[in-house]
Amino acid sequence: MLLPCRDAAEHLPQAVRSLKLQTFRDFEVVAVNDGSRDETGDILERWAAKDDCVRVAHLEQIGLARALQAGADMCRGEYLARADADDVAHPRRFAEQVEYLSARGDVAAAGTHVRYFPHEEVGWGARRYQGWLNRLADPEELARDVFVECPIAHPTLMIRRSLFAEVGGYRANGWPEDYDLILRLHVAGARLANVPRVLHFWREGNHRASRNDPRYLPGAFRSCKIHYLRRSCLEGRDAVNIWGAGRVGKDFARALIDEGVTVRGFFDIDPRKIGQEIYGAPVRDARDVTHHRDTYLLVAVGAAGARELIRLQLDQAGFEEPQDYRCAA
């Protein structure tokens, strides 16, 4: 089990306690102290002194992706599991993930469903992501939505270590290292899943890297998605249509154009947008989408429930996902 830590002394004891309470006992802990300036290192050393299964690596501050890879290189088990130093694992988290992966040899990696806490810190965005993530379980569901958001919460990840090494482990690319790994696995043909139970309690708050690190800004996520879209469904294609003339669609279009991809047109249901141009491309009535099958379609919408309705319309019109279109956000 891989546990990266930086200045985590406030919540680390609670995370450690949840790992000690795991009902599955056959695991080691590799804790990576990435240049902490508080008592994190001392807490880890006291834990290791009492438990032979805990190993601690103290590093100069090298960044999360490099720290994760340094720790991963020390791991020896069949599976590589992740945990965060400020979260809480359900006592049966490891047991149920190992049971799932043992029974499903076709699945490369599995996360779990999650619950954010403490309640007063959990904002609208986190609640929306939690609700979306907790509807994904089967490999087909995760593969369908892998370009919408990261479909596995990183601190719940458990992956076959051989495959982790095969795809190149963690990389520092200027965008989220966890999503990069998941998309790299997907593009390589790996099947991903979630154990459909809340087995991880995810601490929310302004201390999180996703709130403070530029690698987690929307533009960085978008760059990551486009990088792997161009290595999967957009490979060999130099043009796309985009369903969605709102902010999400415009941002995706701008990023694609910057990457050399032509945006031939937009589709939307808003009569105020139909007939306009965005970046020189026309906005058409969404009902006309069937007349433009020759160009690959990206569905880039953010409104709650819109994606499901668009999928229904496209499926009824004979479009197949992902051969003819992909949902992204």
Please report which confidence band the pLDDT of residue 123 belongs to, taking 50, 70 and 90 as the band edges.
very high
Mean pLDDT for the stretch of residues 291-297? 97
The residues spanned by each domain of the chain are: 2-220, 233-328
Superfamily, domain 2-220: Spore Coat Polysaccharide Biosynthesis Protein SpsA; Chain A (3.90.550.10)
Q: Determine the pLDDT at residue 304.
A: 77
Q: How far is CA 311 from the centre of its chain?
A: 22
Residue 303: per-residue pLDDT:
83
Angstrom distance (rounded) from CA 169 to CA 69: 7
In the prediction, which pLDDT does 130 show? 98
pLDDT for residue 299 is more than 70: yes
- Please give the average per-residue pLDDT across 176-204, as a whole number: 98
Give the per-residue pLDDT at 211: 59
Residue 212 has pLDDT above 90, yes or no: no
Least confident span in 72-86, 272-286, 300-314: 300-314
- Return the closest-CA partner of residue 83 out of 8, 174, 190, 133: 8
Given a cut of 90, is residue 27 above it in pLDDT?
A: yes
Compute the mean pLDDT over every residue in the chain, rounded to the nearest whole number: 96
pLDDT digits (tens, 9 = 90+) for 5-25: 999 999 999 999 999 999 999
- Per-residue pLDDT for 209 more than 80? no
| pLDDT value at residue 213 | 77
Per-residue pLDDT at 210: 58
**Which one-letter amino acid corresponds to residue 253?**
A
Q: What CA–CA distances, in Å, run from 171 to 67, 146, 244?
A: 10, 19, 32
Provide the b/e sequence for 92-130 (b: ≥16 CB within 10 Å).
Answer: bbbebbbebbeeeeebbbbbbbbebeeeeebeeebeebb
DSSP lists the bridge partners of residue 158 as: 81, 110
pLDDT, tens only, 223-243 = 999 999 999 999 999 999 999
What pTM does this model have?
A: 0.95
Q: How sure is the predictor about 280, in pLDDT bands with cuts at 50, 70 and 90?
A: very high
- pLDDT at position 284 over 90: yes
The pLDDT of 196-201, averaged and rounded, is 98
Report the pLDDT value the prediction gives residue 48, as an integer from 0 to 100: 98
pLDDT at 138: 98
Q: Is residue 207 scored above 70 in pLDDT?
A: no
pLDDT per position as a tens digit, 36-93: 999 999 999 999 999 999 999 999 999 999 999 999 999 999 999 999 999 999 999 9
Q: Which CATH superfamily is domain 233-328 in?
A: NAD(P)-binding Rossmann-like Domain (3.40.50.720)
Confidence band (pLDDT; 50, 70, 90) for 169? very high
Q: What is the mean predicted confidence (pLDDT) over 120-126?
A: 94
